[in-house]
Structure 1
Amino acid sequence: MRLRSLLAMPRLRLEVVTGEDELDRAIRWVVTTDLLDPGRYLRGRELVLTGLVWRTRPADSETFVRALAEAGVSGLAAWDLALGAIPADLVEACRRHRLPLFKVPEDVAFATVTEEVVRQLSADRAADLTAVLDRHRRLVEGTGLDAVLDLVGHCHVLAPTGRVVAGPPPHDPGALAEAFLTAPRLPHHVPALGMSVFPVAGGAVPRVADWFIASEGDFGDWPPERRDLTTELAAIVAIERARLDDSARSHRDLVAAAAAGDVARLRDAGLADAPYVAVAAAGGGDLRPEDVRAVLAEALPRPRAVGLLDDEVVALVPAGGEDVAAEARAALGLLAPGLPHGGIAAGVSDVATAPGLRAAVEEARYARRLAAARSAERPSPVCVVRHDELATHVLLLASVPDDVRRMFKVRLLDPLEEYDRVHGADLVRTLETWLQYSGSWTRCAERLHLHVNSVRYRIQRVQELTGRDLSRPEDRVDFFLALRLMGGDRP
């Protein structure tokens, strides 16, 4: 849209005050401001509307117009309601900086000007860009998404973690991502940010595994042409996402080779010398393994390969200075608002080179099982377990079937939990602390702020209720394991 087009809009009745020879300038957007120096909020090619609230003295006109000119603004439309005219100093400043100046009639609201210009811009873009976007649909594999977004303008492509995939960074990507994950339905307008969010896959995949588009304005007020344009853009983004997914699927062989300990295949793929960390993950609820693969590829720092292994997702991440487990936990935590309880459980191995990757994958998968068990006992949308949380007994417990683990815990601890519930005796905590201090009556009493005789009485009651003898090492081990199954790492 050109500045000249404003003169053809009958509702606006704008008049050119100065800059008749600059009316072929293009308008990208329309902005209303009453700041004296709004330059940092402008990106260029705007039509600026102002009521001159910023003007307290004639010299202010030079400051204001210079800021607009340096920002690359296309034109200025103004009216001073209190003065009833456009000040001569503003006209002179616009003439000096070659900035076209329009007079807005006193009975025409700035909102009317904005509405008319935005409607025309949307219609023009839809008409002009349909063919271009269609070509980019075919060419995007070679050009990328940024070239397409440059054409559309005021759009951003983001991952549900808030990572900016393409386009300039929006004001608050984290808030946009949370709005996308938690909106009751999509598309969704985010009034606080003045933007609307749209899914790329259109509901075909869970939001935590999708990308989304954020576009300025309330989609409910858009003309049909702009909605069609956004739909076309989503299709183009989906093509680019599919292309990247195809590349990721080619890494499944690397994951299989690591799990099998096939050092020759790993060496052929260039994984022989560098150290790696293995990560295993699985999802619950409606999350399919393929969805978890997409989530893990997004959450991990620079994964070398992410692929399916049986019903789990396994990733190989180059070992650098970062803490892979901490970064994965932080990224998955950002997705928690869009996950059900027990949504994703993940395990992270120690660092290993090619000969040790088989053991690293097994370690990560054991850690993932422990994470799943913890999520089941203490419902949480995300649980990540590190390799250093895997003691020998934990590895053993992770390999035991769930029904056996549950029965083992019930037989040993249910009588104590029921007694505590009825009498408030705190037997479970006393037993846990006593075992923690290797059966020391004194240290246990000090830790619980009890008399030693009270500790002795409680432990005696534990033995009576369970029929176990805590002087026997095997009975102590049984209780220790049962407490770990219950969540014995509580403070």
Structure 2
Amino acid sequence: MDDDLRLTVGRLLEVPRFQLRLVAGAAGLDRPVRWAHSTELLDPGPYLRGNEVVLTVGAALGDAERCAEFARSVHASRGSAIGYGIGDVLPESPQPLRAVCEELGLPLLEVPPEVPFLSFTEWFAEQMATSRTERHGREETGRLFQLVANGLASPEALRSRLDEAGLSDESLAVLAVPSTDLPERLDTSRGAVLGVDGNIALLVVGSEEHATELARSWGGVGGIATPGPLEQIPQALAEAISALETAGRGGTIVRAADLATFEGLLSRLERHQIAPFADQIARPLTDHDAVHGTELAETLRAFLRTDGAAGSAARELHLHPNTLRHRLSRIKTLTGRDPLDFGDRVALAIAMWAVRGDR
């Protein structure tokens, strides 16, 4: 089964058509499941590939020793669970089998008499086909998104997909998230067009609020473009991808508006690009403070917070203006950057941002 399904034993228990009942091994409900295999062999291991629900009516499980041998074979072969068909041999799964499955953390599921084992393999085959169809559709839409973003296709090429999703072309929000964060099935009840291109998933939805909700529910990392009409989709796709790159570094949700800020610009720089500011400007100040017990770094931060207003900074720090000017002079000497010069003040601001504890 494709990894896209991410099916677990716990999820299989929720499938209405099987009416399964868990009787042991609840510790293994998060085991992945990809297929079902029916057998009456005591040692089915050689015929298992892993992650199967192993179905049996228990014809060979006549005593505790045989129950243990069967369960341990399934467990050693990475089987996900045992499905015991009740009614053919016994009206319920044998207690010794329950005991060993509980010990192994191997889920034991009772299958009612009216559910044929063949229905399991048919259902898994249906899920595989559905998964492949959905994956193909997502990849095709992802390629179309890339063509539109690169100017190789008109935004009008997306109109039919938007119509199918019930989305208005007057206000569209684009969300970019890691494709690994996508759920097994996308809830499209509120309208969404999904495309996957490599490790990035792009969604067009009807509002920024909806995009934010989805990003939060899928791992809390995402980039959201500025909402706009259909003709602005090329720009929105690029914005969302750029915002996702920044979001990935901080593990947050980043909106396009956040990129057009001083910190938004700095957050998109790699560490090696920021390092010279930290090493050549900030470190001399912090080292001097550590050795001499001064507060030059905090003085500079206050000066930067007040946009270079010496009077305001002095009041914030409870200093005499002359004391502040002396500290600014010392900062200039240690860093080679003049806090009173706008260009140098920008470099000083970058340096202090680079060594900020919460970066």
**Shared fold (TM-score greater than 0.5)?**
yes
Match of 1:189 among 26, 39, 46: 26
- Alpha-carbon distance between aligned partners in 2 of 1:299 and 1:419, rounded to the nearest angstrom: 57
The change in CA–CA distance for 1:267 and 1:401 in structure 2 (over 3 A counts) is same
- Alpha-carbon distance between aligned partners in 1 of 2:100 and 2:352, rounded to the nearest angstrom: 54
Match of 2:241 among 352, 365, 368: 365
8 A Cα contact 1:430 1:458, kept in partner: yes
Aligned length, in residue pairs? 274
The change in CA–CA distance for 1:432 and 1:269 in structure 2 (over 3 A counts) is same
Match of 2:175 among 272, 275, 279: 279
Matches within 5 A, 1:251-262: 251-261=141-151, 262=154
The answer to whether residue 31 in structure 2 is matched with residue 198 in structure 1 is yes
Offset at residue 313 of structure 1 (A) = 0.9
Deviation per residue, 1:228-263 (Å, 9 max, x gap): x89969946852544433332232133213412422
Structure of higher RCO (CA pairs closer than 8 Å, 6+ residues apart): 2
Deviation per residue, 1:95-122 (Å, 9 max, x gap): xxxxxxxxxxxxxxxxxxxxxxxxxxxx
Offset at residue 196 of structure 1 (A) = 2.9
Q: What is the TM-score of this pair, normalised by structure 1?
A: 0.45
- Which residues of structure 1 form unaligned runs of 5+? 1-144, 157-186, 204-211, 283-289, 334-344, 376-381
8 A Cα contact 2:150 2:234, kept in partner: yes
Q: Which amino acid aligns with 2:240?
A: A
8 A Cα contact 1:196 1:219, kept in partner: no
The answer to whether residue 33 in structure 2 is matched with residue 152 in structure 1 is no
2:347 aligned counterpart, secondary structure: helix
Offset at residue 356 of structure 1 (A) = 1.2
Q: Which residue of 1 aligns with 2:229?
A: 353
Deviation per residue, 1:409-462 (Å, 9 max, x gap): 433223233334445544334322311211123322444455545544443332
Q: Which residue of 1 aligns with 2:3?
A: none
Q: Which entry has the higher C-alpha Rg, 1 or 2?
A: 1
Q: Which residue of 2 aligns with 1:329?
A: 216
8 A Cα contact 1:432 1:488, kept in partner: no
Deviation per residue, 1:265-318 (Å, 9 max, x gap): 233544782422222345xxxxxxx535x359869975312321xx65141331
8 A Cα contact 1:258 1:354, kept in partner: no
- Alpha-carbon distance between aligned partners in 1 of 2:171 and 2:184, rounded to the nearest angstrom: 19
The change in CA–CA distance for 1:148 and 1:196 in structure 2 (over 3 A counts) is closer
8 A Cα contact 1:299 1:332, kept in partner: no
Deviation per residue, 1:38-91 (Å, 9 max, x gap): xxxxxxxxxxxxxxxxxxxxxxxxxxxxxxxxxxxxxxxxxxxxxxxxxxxxxx
1:253 aligned counterpart, secondary structure: helix
8 A Cα contact 2:183 2:218, kept in partner: no
8 A Cα contact 2:222 2:247, kept in partner: yes
2:343 aligned counterpart, secondary structure: helix
8 A Cα contact 2:13 2:19, kept in partner: no
Q: CA RMSD in A?
A: 4.6
- Alpha-carbon distance between aligned partners in 1 of 2:293 and 2:259, rounded to the nearest angstrom: 33
Matches within 5 A, 1:25-64: none
1:307 aligned counterpart, secondary structure: strand
Q: What is the TM-score of this pair, normalised by structure 2?
A: 0.59
1:316 aligned counterpart, secondary structure: strand
Matches within 5 A, 1:31-430: 149-154=15-20, 189-190=26-27, 196-200=29-33, 220-221=101-102, 226=110, 235=124, 239=128, 240-261=130-151, 262-270=154-162, 273-282=169-178, 291-292=180-181, 294=182, 303-308=192-197, 312-320=199-207, 322=209, 324-325=211-212, 327-333=214-220, 345-373=221-249, 375=250, 382-393=251-262, 396-397=265-266, 402-423=271-292, 425-430=294-299
Deviation per residue, 1:126-156 (Å, 9 max, x gap): xxxxxxxxxxxxxxxxxxx999822322579
- Alpha-carbon distance between aligned partners in 1 of 2:295 and 2:184, rounded to the nearest angstrom: 41
- Alpha-carbon distance between aligned partners in 1 of 2:299 and 2:266, rounded to the nearest angstrom: 23
Offset at residue 219 of structure 1 (A) = 9.1
2:337 aligned counterpart, secondary structure: coil
- Which residues of structure 2 form unaligned runs of 5+? 1-10, 35-49, 52-79, 84-97, 112-116
- Alpha-carbon distance between aligned partners in 1 of 2:318 and 2:253, rounded to the nearest angstrom: 34
8 A Cα contact 1:297 1:303, kept in partner: no
The change in CA–CA distance for 1:296 and 1:226 in structure 2 (over 3 A counts) is closer
The change in CA–CA distance for 1:426 and 1:146 in structure 2 (over 3 A counts) is same
